A and B are shown apart, each in its own frame.
Chain A
């Protein structure tokens, strides 16, 4: 029987079928961070259980850590306690930790690939919904809750209902100024925030093949915003070229063997998908969200939609509520909406290519007087690379703040938050009410679009640059 990429990875990890469609699934890599793990470790201790495979577990601090000065203790005592708890737990259970002093520290979904720990055909879990990012390498990578984190720590397995297969076929040539972020935002706009619930998305098509490894991560990262359990892309030469030589990637003979093995992680011709959607990349322009879900998105050339024109009562209500929260009026052109803050960062768009794309826009210009702009690299290694290329100077000369790595203003758990009513052009993944700070208003977009908005002081079509 022909199988999809996801079917293959699933089949290869079934420890035991527990019931029809329910399996005990083996986990190859478990990523851990400070916010969703303390209760799991406490549960292990209470029950006198151990971590079954500490060497398949990697920990870092990212969600609540300060992105400013690192030589001082963390000012927030509650956040400090959580960071300290992870440090203690990692030591007690023998788990490798990339802490605030480590040059390898960074957002968990940035450092996994960076280390080469993320590899094709793996099952990867983390107590974080953006774990979908790792699917870019042809892995089945999913976010789990803290009870499941504890379960994986104790058993190296997860009990899961097998999700269905959804193919998102993206074809055609992207126009200039159109990024991977625009493709995924357009797709979410098309299928909705619950459009892929219960499914694993496999991204296929020539427009997907044409993406760089980092662009693929951006696409897979936001699979959860369409409700998907995971997103994935079959590995190819782009994948192997990215992984070769990375510290945790197979080396020598093992590398040669992997190169023979990995190409099997693909969908058979004619494999069955339960759902299929298509997107023509050539029709996609730079995208900007206008509401309070990532599905409330439009082309930058469009206007704020009129809720009255929407199909169902639920949609009309949701859009009206979103516009009230966002302080926007139907019919207003997106271009020209003034912004107060710019956030370049997050597991979606804070890798070196993202910083280069933004720097190319910013170079030789200055942030608008009304705007406060922040660059938060996805990892300390990304930061070091950017500094080696002089990108930090490009940003700081233009008036951006240049920070240390972390999740930062994507979710505002540390001091990087929006004030009430402040409007932000953000490269992150969620524009939910209050996500970046209570009363804060988030517009999601690509790094180039956010950079251009910083310079102009309002939303702008980067293609005009």
Chain B
């Protein structure tokens, strides 16, 4: 079952890097689990923690005020690389509800929509404007129903979510349950393609 996402208000943290790959989002040593939960502490592990296990104060998520942020603003091609859904689980279980970037990798995007995490694609100039506007870590609002992201300092931008993914998120649909209702079509396809 997908966690529904209609409208979310929260604080943002900025990670100004491009090509953040899923190996960075969750390093391989955390992929050995057989559960879907418990990945939040592993998020950005090698960037968040020094080799001795202490938090690295230079990393954006460890900066004062970043705690409790639910929206991540970042650079282009976010989520590239490995298909590991653990990356999305880690982001969601850490507490993120939306990621704002100029572009996302395809598999990562598909994984987001199936886990209640909204990828918000804006033009690079809009992302920059949003970063400037959110200095001081105030709250922004992501509205999936209207497909608008805004803050109370005058920033507003429209975005276009993937139509199918938007539907999954707005209604919190059990995708498999829904596809199983297509049984007659699937069976017909199988009969015509033995």
Contact = CB atoms under 8 A, between A and B. Distances in A.
Interface of A: 15-16, 18-20, 22, 24, 26, 35-36, 38-39, 42-43, 47, 49, 52, 63-64, 76, 78-79, 81-82, 85, 127-129, 143-148, 150-151, 154-157, 159, 161, 163, 193-194, 197-198, 224, 227, 229, 293, 314-315, 317-318, 321, 411-413, 420, 430, 432-435, 438-439
Interface string B64-92: 00000000000111001111110010000
Given A16-B185, A22-B164, A193-B77, A143 B114 contact: no
B190 to A, nearest CB: 8
A194 B77 CA distance: 6
Contact of A129 (B33, B34, B83): B83
Interface in B25-73: 27-29, 31-36, 46, 51
A63 B76 CA distance: 28
Given A38-B34, A129-B81, A144-B110, 17 more contacts: A18-B164, A24-B179, A63-B31, A85-B34, A128-B83, A151-B176, A155-B179, A159-B175, A161-B162, A194-B19, A194-B76, A315-B18, A411-B23, A412-B28, A413-B28, A432-B81, A434-B27
B77 A151 contact: no
Nearest to A151: B176
Interface stretch (B5-13, B100-108, B147-155): B100-108
Interface string B164-194: 1000000000011101101001100110010
B34 A127 contact: no
B29 A314 contact: no
Given A78-B33, A129-B81, A148 B19 contact: no
A154 B17 contact: no
A18 B110 CA distance: 16
Contacts of B35: 38-39, 42
Contacts of A194: 19, 76-77, 80, 103, 105
9 contacts: A18-B164, A42-B36, A146-B111, A147-B175, A161-B162, A197-B106, A317-B18, A318-B18, A433-B23
Q: Which 6 A-B pairs have the closest CB atoms?
A: A38-B34, A145-B85, A145-B111, A147-B114, A143-B83, A194-B77
A235 to B, nearest CB: 19
B24 A433 contact: yes
Nearest to A433: B24
B115 interface: yes
A432 B23 contact: yes
Contacts of A128: 82-83
Interface residues of B, number: 50
A144 B188 CA distance: 25
B19 A318 contact: yes
Contacts of A47: 176-177
B75 A314 contact: yes
B17 A321 contact: yes
B77 A129 contact: no
Contacts of B32: 35, 64, 76, 78-79, 81-82, 413
A24 B189 CA distance: 11
A227 B106 CA distance: 7
A26 B193 contact: yes
A299 B106 CA distance: 29
Given A129-B83, A148-B110, A413-B31, A156 B77 contact: no
Contacts of A150: 176
Given A143-B83, A145-B83, A39 B176 contact: no
A15 B85 contact: no
A146 B85 contact: yes
B164 A159 contact: yes
Nearest to A318: B18
Contact of B34 (A42, A143, A315): A42
A127 B111 CA distance: 11
Given A15-B189, A24-B185, A156-B186, A39 B36 contact: yes
B21 interface: yes
Contacts of A430: 21, 23, 81-82
A315 B34 CA distance: 38
A227 B179 CA distance: 28
B28 A157 contact: no
Contacts of A321: 17
A63 B29 CA distance: 11
Contact of B46 (A78, A82, A438): A438
B176 A155 contact: yes
B176 A438 contact: no
Given A39-B35, A413-B28, A434 B46 contact: yes
A26 B189 contact: yes
Contact of A39 (B16, B27, B34, B77): B34
Contacts of A127: 83, 85
A438 B180 contact: no
Contacts of B17: 317-318, 321
Contact of B111 (A22, A147, A315): A147
Chain B CB count within 10 A is highest, among A63, A229, A314, A321, for: A314
Contacts of B36: 39, 42, 146
A230 B80 CA distance: 14
Nearest to A411: B28
A151 B175 CA distance: 8
A19 B51 contact: no
Contact of A193 (B16, B19, B23, B180): B19
Contacts of B18: 314-315, 317-318
A155 B110 CA distance: 17
A292 to B, nearest CB: 8
B116 to A, nearest CB: 11
B81 A157 contact: no
B38 to A, nearest CB: 11
Interface in B130-149: none
Contacts of B80: 193-194, 227, 293
